[in-house]
Amino acid sequence: MNLPMNLRDINLWEKKALLGFAIPHKDGQEYHIGDTASIQEPFKRLFVLEPIEKNGISVEKKITAGIIYRSDGMSVWDTSRPFTTFSEAERWSPANQLPDYAIRRKAKIVNFEVKSIKSFTEDEIKLLHLDYASQGNPQILMDEYLPTKNFELLYGWWKQHYKSTLKGGDDPMAVVFHLVSTD
């Protein structure tokens, strides 16, 4: 199982402030306490050009030979391919496309719950670090508006991560994981 984190999530994970994560629930998918999840993060591809034959014409195909992590600029290479030169992609790639050889962080699932995003509790929103109190941007809000504002933060985060799940409605099913680092 993979947890596709953005830069904000990775930063919180490194500070040990992110204690949970949510992903869309897929029917038939099983989750178990004690399972290990791979943390994916944004990156930039490093390509090599390999000649291939296509319709009798020799063309070059871009093959990913390595990646650069967006969070710290470190790189990792696919050692199964020999190469001497490479080129860097122009754009950053989303976390969910990170090759398996480049996964460097893992989390252990200590608890989980399947529920709709509208039924997330205040504690679960805090676990995901998506409540106003944890944003480092103090605002004067009356207590009765906090649940609405906290849900707006959660919904915005969900839309950024899993926009396609909102096409069928604004209350998709999710899995909320409680996590600990395996480092």
- Go through the domains of the chain in sequence order and give each one's CATH number: 2-40+104-181 (3.10.400.10), 43-93 (no CATH)
> What's the mean pLDDT in 61-83?
88
Whether 25 and 93 have beta carbons less than 8 Å apart is answered as no
CA distance 64 to 115: 37
Tell me which of 78-82, 121-125, 151-155 is least confident. Answer: 78-82
Residues pairing with 177 in the sheet: 21, 112
Question: What is the edge-to-edge ordering of all strands in the sheet holding 75-77?
Answer: 75-77, 57-69, 43-54, 87-88
Indicate the SS3 state at residue 158. helix
Asked if 65 contacts 94 with a C-beta cutoff of 8 angstroms, the reply is no
Kindly state the percentage of the chain with pLDDT values over 70: 96
Provide the 3-class DSSP secondary structure of residue 57.
Answer: strand
Q: What is the pTM of this model?
A: 0.84
Answer whether 178's CB lies under 8 Å from 112's CB.
Answer: yes
Confidence check: pLDDT of 139 > 80 = no
CA atoms within 13 A on the CB side of 10: 19
HEC sequence for 98-129? CCHHHCCEEEEEEEEEEEEHHHCCHHHHHHCC
* 170 compared with 142, residue with greater pLDDT: 170
pLDDT of residue 113: 95
The arithmetic mean of pLDDT across residues 120-148, rounded, is 80
Strand blocks (E) in the chain: 2-4, 20-24, 36-40, 43-54, 57-69, 75-77, 87-88, 105-116, 173-181
pLDDT of residue 140: 61
